[in-house]
Amino acid sequence: MKRSSEVKSYNVVKGFLNLTLTDQVITTLFDEIKRTNNFGLKDLDPLLPSAMIEYSSPNTNKPLHLGHIRNNLLGDSISRIVKASGRNVIQVQIINDRGVHICKSMWAWKKFGDGETPESSGLKGDHLVGKYYVLFDKEYKRQINKSVLNGTEQEEAKKTVPCILEVQKMLLDWESGDKEVVQLWTKMNTWVYSGFEKTYERLGIVFDKNYYESETYILGKKDIRQGLQNGVFYRKPDNSVWIDLSAEGLDEKIILRKDGSSVYMTQDIGTAIQRFKDFEIDSLTYVVGNEQDYHFRVLFLILEKLGYSWARKLSHLSYGMVDLPTGKMKSREGKVVDADDLMDEMELAAKKMSIELGKSQAFSNSESEMLNKALGHGALKYFILKVDPKKRMIFNPEESIDFNGNTGPFLQYTHARISSLINKKGSQVDYDWDQFELTEKERALVILIAKFPKNIQAAATGLNPSIIATYLYELAKGFNSFYQQHSVLNAETASIAAFRVDLCKEVANVLNSGLNILGINAPERM
RNA sequence: GGUUCCGUAGCUCAGCUGGAUAGAGCAUCUGCCUUCUAAGCAGACGGUCGCGCGUUCGAAUCGCGCCGGAAUCACCA
Distance A360 CA to B41 C1' (A): 23
Task: Report which residue is nearest nucleotide B15 when distances run from CA to C1'.
Answer: A470
Confidence of residue A2 (pLDDT cuts 50, 70, 90): very low
Quickly count: other Cβ atoms within 10 Å of residue A136's Cβ.
25
Residue A298: inside a domain: no
Residue type, A275: R
Nucleotide nearest to A359 (CA to C1'): B37
With respect to residue A105, please indicate whether it lies within any of the assigned structural domains: no
CB atoms within 10 A of CB A259: 8
Residue A219 near residue A270, CB atoms below 8 Å: yes
Domain membership flag for residue A214: no
Whole-number Å distance between alpha carbons of A235 and A256? 9
What tens digit of pLDDT does each residue of A121-167 get? 999 999 999 999 999 999 999 999 999 999 988 888 998 999 999 99
Residue A321: DSSP 8-state = -
CA A16 to C1' B60 (Å) is 21
A460 in a structural domain: yes
> Which amino acid residue lies closest to nucleotide B37, measuring CA to C1'?
A417
* 3-state class percentages of chain A: helix first, strand second, coil last, to nearest 5: 55, 15, 30
DSSP conformational letter for A45: -
Question: Which nucleotide is closest to the Cα of A349 by its C1'?
Answer: B39
CA of A293 to C1' of B71 (A): 9
Distance in angstroms: CA A427, C1' B23: 41
Q: Which nucleotide lies at the shortest CA–C1' distance from A467? A: B14
SS3 (DSSP) at A195: helix
* Largest Cα span, chain A: 94
| CA to C1' distance (Å), from A437 to B28 | 41
- Residue A386 pLDDT > 90: yes
A414 is in which domain, residue-wise?
Answer: 340-517
Nucleotide nearest A487, CA–C1', reads B36
Distance CA A100, CA A49 (A): 38
Q: CA-CA distance, A330 to A337, in Å (whole number)?
A: 9
- Whether A96 maps to a domain, the answer reads no
SS3 of A504-524: HHHHHHHHHHHHHHCCCCCCC
Q: What average pLDDT is seen over chain A? A: 93
**Closest protein residue to B14 using CA and C1' atoms?**
A470
pLDDT higher at A37 or A15: A37
Q: Which nucleotides of B are covered by protein (CB under 7 A)?
A: 2-6, 12-15, 19-21, 24-27, 35-42, 69-77
CA of A444 to C1' of B22 (A): 22
C1’ B8 / CA A391, Å: 14
On whether residue A92 sits in a domain, the answer given is no
CA of A486 to C1' of B32 (A): 15
Give the start-end residues of each E strand in A5-154: 7-13, 16-21, 50-54, 89-95
Query: Is A195:A124 a contact under the CB 8 Å cutoff?
Result: yes
Grade residue A268 by pLDDT with cuts at 50, 70 and 90.
very high
A195-231 pLDDT per residue, tens: 999 999 999 999 999 999 999 998 999 999 999 999 9
Say how far A310 CA is from B40 C1', in Å.
50
Give the nucleotide at minimum CA-to-C1' distance from A379: B39
Under DSSP, the state recorded for A313 is G
* Nearest-angstrom CA–CA distance, A466 and A393: 14
Nearest nucleotide to A294 by CA–C1' distance? B72
Sign of CA dihedral A63, A66, A68, A72: positive
Q: What is the per-residue pLDDT across A28-60, written as a single tens digit (0 to 9) for each?
A: 999 999 999 999 999 999 999 999 999 999 999
Angle between helices A66-84 and A494-517 (to 10 degrees): 130
For residues A373 and A343, what is the distance between their CA atoms, to the nearest angstrom? 8
* A159 touches A100 (CB < 8 A): no
CATH number at residue A418: 1.10.730.10
Domain total for chain A? 1
Q: Determine, yes or no, domain membership for A78.
A: no
The answer to whether A20 and A10 have CB atoms below 8 angstroms apart is yes
Quote the pLDDT of residue A4.
63
Of all nucleotides in the shown strands, which has a C1' nearest the CA of A490?
A: B36
Q: Per the domain annotation, does A433 fall within a domain?
A: yes
- Residue A11 pLDDT > 70: yes
Closest CA to A209 of A62, A336, A57, A426: A57
